[in-house]
Structure 1
Amino acid sequence: MADFKRWKEQRLSRADGSRKGSVDEPIAGIVQLLNGYDCFCTTSSCSGRVVVLEQPPLPPTAEDTTGFEIKKQNCTWLMVTHQICTIEDVLTALQEATDDAIFKFEPFVLHVQCEELQDAQLLHKVAIEAGFRNSGITVGQKGKIMMAVRSTHCLEVPLSQKGKLMVSEEYVDFVIQVANQKMEENLKRIDRFYSSLQFALENRDRSSSSTLEEKEENNTMDSYRRKKKSKGAKKDDECTSPGKIRGLESEDETESNLNIFH
Structure 2
Amino acid sequence: MKRLFLKALAIVGVATAAPAAAEPILLDAGSVGESFTITFDGFVDGGPSIDGLGSELTLTLTGIENGVYTFDYTMTNTGADGDGIGSRVSGFAFNTDPDIDSATSTGAYRYTNTDSNYPNGIGTVDVCFQARRTGSCAGGGSGGVFDGDSGSGTLSLDFGGTAPASLTLDDFFVRYQSVTGVDGVGSASGRQTSTSGGTTSGTDVPEPGMMLLFGLAVLGLAIGTRRRRPLAAAPVRLAYA
TM bracket, shorter-chain basis: under 0.3
Between Structure 1 and Structure 2, whose CA radius of gyration is higher? 1
Which structure is higher in helix share? 1
The TM-score with structure 2 as length reference comes to 0.25
Higher relative contact order (CA 8 A, sep 6+): 2
**Structure with a larger share of its residues in strand:** 2
Provide TM-score, normalisation by structure 1.
0.24
